[in-house]
Amino acid sequence: MEIRWLEDFMALARTRHFSRAAELQHVSQPTFSRRIKLLEEAMGATLINRQTLPLSLTPAGEAFVEMCERVTRDVRETRDRIDAMEAEASARISVGSTQGLFSHYYQSWARQAGVAERLQLNLKATNWVGEQFLDALDNGECDLVLCYWHDDLPWGERLDPERYEWMTLARETLVPVSVADSGGQPRFTLPGTVGQPVPLIAYHSRGFLQSAIEARLAKINEPAYLLPLNENTQSAGIKALVKQGFGMGWLPKRMTEKSEQFGSLARAGDERWDVPLEIRLIRLRQTRSDDLLILWKTLENQHA
């Protein structure tokens, strides 16, 4: 049974005339009559008394028309709600964020900035790595990118100021950490030795963070002897393996504070080994909506 059959029957109940009801429904009378007959067959009852002039409803028809009115009203109201929801969703500004920033920064920042209701997180972004975030901006998969940034990204020159605009929302630090032993001391410590390199849970080579770590190590006078065991695209994956004692790793300080408080992680090196980062919000200069420009101006004023 189709909704339009219910609408046909309601038109017939109002007009009590097949021709006029068919005209209201923009179909031929034979088509309209056939649909009413199919409706009666589907209900297993005669709904129209065709022996009267004008037509009248049978008792079953009277009950049925009340049901038609309820159902069509509910369908109409539901459609209106769905349309409103879709309009609201389409008006939101799509954000691509690294998983670590989404888990430990994005939500609190968006609430404090008063823009949470205007943003929609693109969940596909949790699978993107490094330069793919800029690709997503270019092809319209998101309107904003929230990511870590540093000057030593191998593809950092792609961030052309004539094409992209960005702002620094906050500073972050990558801290070397290891699981702590029963005495609260790190199981693995920097810098290691040639004979006993420190097992490392590394970041993906194409991501935002591994190149920052390597650049920082290159600037320290004392060499670090590291044995990379695997690569992870997400800080959460590195933290899980570090906590299980497989090796040390660098984590954003926001991710270590709670763990350090409860003693499950400890520093694997002093502040020489810390890696400074920016948390950046990036957009295309050629924006796709006025709403994005308004939001960007709001954020600029907050960070002026």
Which residue would you say has higher pLDDT here, 169 or 103? 169
Q: Which CATH class is domain 93-294?
A: alpha beta
Position 261 scores a pLDDT of 47
Q: Which residues of 154-164 are buried (b: 16+ CB within 10 A; e: fewer)?
A: eeeeeeeeeeb
CATH, range 3-89:
1.10.10.10
Helix (H) or strand (E) holding 97: strand 93-97
User: Where in the chain are all domains bearing CATH 1.10.10.10?
Assistant: 3-89
Three-state DSSP class for residue 286: coil
Q: What is the mean pLDDT of the chain?
A: 89
Whether the full predicted model's pTM is greater than 0.75, yes or no, is no
The pLDDT tens digits of the residues spanning 138-163 come to: 998 999 999 999 988 888 899 999 99
The pLDDT tens digits of the residues spanning 122-136 come to: 888 888 989 999 999
* Cα angle value 28/30/36 (rounded, 5°): 105
User: Where in the chain are all domains bearing CATH 3.40.190.290?
Assistant: 93-294
The pLDDT tens digits of the residues spanning 202-220 come to: 999 888 999 999 999 999 9
- Rounded to whole angstroms, how far apart are CA atoms 304 and 297? 10
- Rounded to whole angstroms, how far apart are CA atoms 68 and 170? 58
Percent of the chain residues past pLDDT 70, beyond the cut = 94
- Rounded to whole angstroms, how far apart are CA atoms 127 and 61? 57
- Rounded to whole angstroms, how far apart are CA atoms 152 and 272? 18
Q: How confident is the model at residue 1 (pLDDT cuts 50, 70, 90)?
A: low
- Rounded to whole angstroms, how far apart are CA atoms 159 and 161? 6
